[in-house]
Every structure is written in C-alpha cells, then in structure tokens.
C-alpha cells in the first residue's frame, strides 16, 4: 500500500552531496538503504499523482520494424534471422540498429525530464567518469529510477529485446542472467569524453535518445577491431543503438557542442561473470573471467527465453 504522504516526505529530505557520493562515504550507502522502501513508494505515488499527464512507457516507443521482428521471434524462435537481419555489423562483435521510433522519442524524453524534475532523490552513475547526470536504472542499484511503469519498460527491453539479441549476435547464452543500466549525458563544458576501456559485461547496449533537432558535434565512438588491429569510428544518431561485446575496446571522442543523451544497459552472468574462449573470443583485460566457455549448440528456443535464476545483488558500480 502506498502512503499518500510518502512523496512529500521524500521530497523534504536532504540527499547526500555529490562530493559525499564521489568519495563513497559510508553515510551515502546508509542513506539509500534506509530510504529504499520510501523511495520506491514515492516513485509509485509520483506516477499515480501524474497519471493523466505522464506517458506509460512501453515497447510501442521502439522502432516498428524491430518490434515486429522481435515479437514474431518470441512467437516462433525459428524466425530469429529476421531480427538479426535488421542489425548492421560495424566490426565483429559490434552491431547497430534504429532502436527507438523517432516519432515517439520526444514522449519518452518528456517522461525522463518529468522524472528528473520530480523532486525524488536519485543516484547518478558516479562510478564512471561521466557522472554528473542521469539515473541508475536497475533495482540492484542504490537510488534507482523505481517508477513502476518505467521498471516494466526497462525489464521488457532487457528480457524481450536485449538478451535474445545478444545471444543471437554475440553468443552470450549462459552469461546474461543479470542486468544493469544507467542514463548519461555528454556536455562540452563538463564531462565530455571517455577514454579507451572495456565494459564489465558480457554485452552492452548503448542507446542514443537525442531528438532529431538536438544536434551535437564531436562525441564519435571508436571501436577497436582485434582481428584487423584497426579502429572503426561511428557516431550516434537519434534513437540509434549499438550492441557490442563487453570486451571490445572502445572510446568516446570529446563532444564539442550540444549534448548527447544515452541509455546504457548491460548483461552479465551471476556474480558478475563474463564469458571467454569459444568462437566468441571473450575475455577482458579489465575484469576476471570464469574458466567455463559459452555453451555450444544453443537452440533458437533457448535464445528466446528468460532465465529462471533470481537476480543477485552484485553491481558494477
């Protein structure tokens, strides 16, 4: 049951300072843990309070071709090749697609802006360099965006879209039971680039949510092709997503004007395991990998399934 005054109470409390969060002070974790239930209730109350004005985010926000192909594959996994055909290969282990429907993207951005202006404390993704903006998206994270309708949409993206696509394109089966996500913003006068790195994930889906008229310059993304030893450069376009193996080295150039807004979501195995070996050539110079390789001879039906294992509490940051 939601208490009608929880939202007002949460809006009245003082969240940890940015400095305290960056310094990982013990009081910060204590704040989020002590207020977790109240924060979740406040987000639910916020949705109810604004139900006549707020978007209910769902898969109709996504590109119609992708949505149709994915729904067909869930009905009949033997049709999964139609999903694979929509993704453009940039280099081995890196693929791109139009993910959001451009005609609906403004509605989604309005929803996120309303959430940002809700007055409910939220923890920014301070575990990475680009830490000044955004939400933590996954319930495993302190101070996450716990609005029930958003969480339903987030889980659909992870379960119905990202996981089977990663299994299909990147061979992540067996190392994709756990989820993680955050939103971020690149600004030329603040956090503006990201040095070469790999991700602590089996797969990363990076989705640009800029509107078509929100232009920016710079902020190109470099991916390093280990097989050719060449770097391939790409740039995000509105609603475009890139999915890649977590162990593919990548870097972001400085943004020189405008802003770039992205959702970044990860899949990895229990206790933060990631695969290595096998035909996927997994492994990361930043993160330990288990000794087991990705299982072989996975069927289409197995790819288009949701793991039964419960979520653990391990979070990359």
In a domain, 42, yes or no: no
pLDDT tens-digit map of 184-226: 888 887 665 578 889 999 999 999 999 999 999 999 999 999 8
* Strand, coil or helix: 100: strand
In a domain, 12, yes or no: no
Q: What is the pLDDT along the chain (317 residues), one digit of tens a residue?
A: 445 699 999 999 999 988 888 888 999 999 999 999 999 999 999 999 999 999 999 999 999 999 999 999 999 999 999 999 999 999 999 999 999 999 999 999 999 999 999 999 999 887 655 455 689 999 999 999 999 999 999 999 999 999 999 999 999 999 999 999 999 888 887 665 578 889 999 999 999 999 999 999 999 999 999 889 999 999 999 999 999 999 999 999 889 999 899 999 999 999 899 986 443 333 332 333 333 455 678 999 999 999 998 899 988 88
In a domain, 6, yes or no: no
Domain extent for 72: 56-303
Q: Considering its fold, how many domains does the chain have in total?
A: 1
In a domain, 232, yes or no: yes
pLDDT tens-digit map of 75-96: 999 999 999 999 999 999 999 9
In a domain, 29, yes or no: no
Query: Which CATH number goes with the domain that contains 79?
Result: 2.60.120.620
In a domain, 284, yes or no: yes
In a domain, 16, yes or no: no
In a domain, 312, yes or no: no
């Amino acid at each position: 049951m939601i208490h009608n005054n929880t939202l007002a109470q949460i809006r009245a409390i003082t969240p940890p300072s940015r400095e305290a969060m960056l310094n990982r002070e013990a009081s910060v974790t204590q704040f989020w843990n002590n207020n977790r239930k109240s924060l979740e209730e406040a987000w639910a109350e916020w949705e109810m309070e604004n139900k006549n004005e707020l978007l209910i985010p769902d898969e109709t926000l996504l590109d119609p071709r992708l949505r149709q192909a994915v729904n067909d594959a869930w009905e009949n996994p033997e049709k999964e090749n139609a999903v694979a055909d929509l993704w453009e290969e940039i280099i081995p282990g890196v693929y791109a697609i139009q993910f959001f429907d451009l005609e609906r993207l403004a509605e989604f951005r309005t929803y996120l802006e309303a959430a940002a202006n809700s007055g409910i404390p939220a923890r920014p993704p301070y575990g990475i360099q680009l830490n000044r903006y955004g939400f933590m998206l996954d319930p495993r994270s302190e101070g996450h965006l716990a609005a029930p309708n958003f969480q339903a949409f987030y889980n659909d993206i992870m379960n119905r879209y990202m996981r089977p696509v990663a299994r299909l394109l990147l061979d992540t089966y067996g190392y994709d039971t756990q989820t993680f996500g955050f939103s971020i913003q690149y600004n030329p006068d603040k956090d503006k680039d990201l040095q070469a790195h790999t991700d602590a994930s089996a797969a990363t889906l990076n989705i640009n949510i800029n509107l078509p008229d929100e232009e920016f310059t710079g902020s190109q993304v470099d991916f390093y092709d280990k097989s050719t030893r060449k770097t391939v450069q790409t740039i995000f376009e509105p609603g475009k997503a890139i999915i890649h193996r977590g162990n593919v080295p990548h870097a972001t150039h400085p943004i020189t004007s405008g802003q770039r807004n992205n959702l970044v979501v990860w899949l990895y195995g229990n206790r933060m395991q990631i695969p290595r070996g096998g035909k996927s050539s997994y492994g990361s110079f930043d993160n330990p990998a288990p000794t087991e390789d990705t299982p072989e001879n996975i069927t289409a039906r197995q790819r288009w399934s949701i793991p039964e294992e419960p979520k653990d509490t391990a979070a990359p940051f």
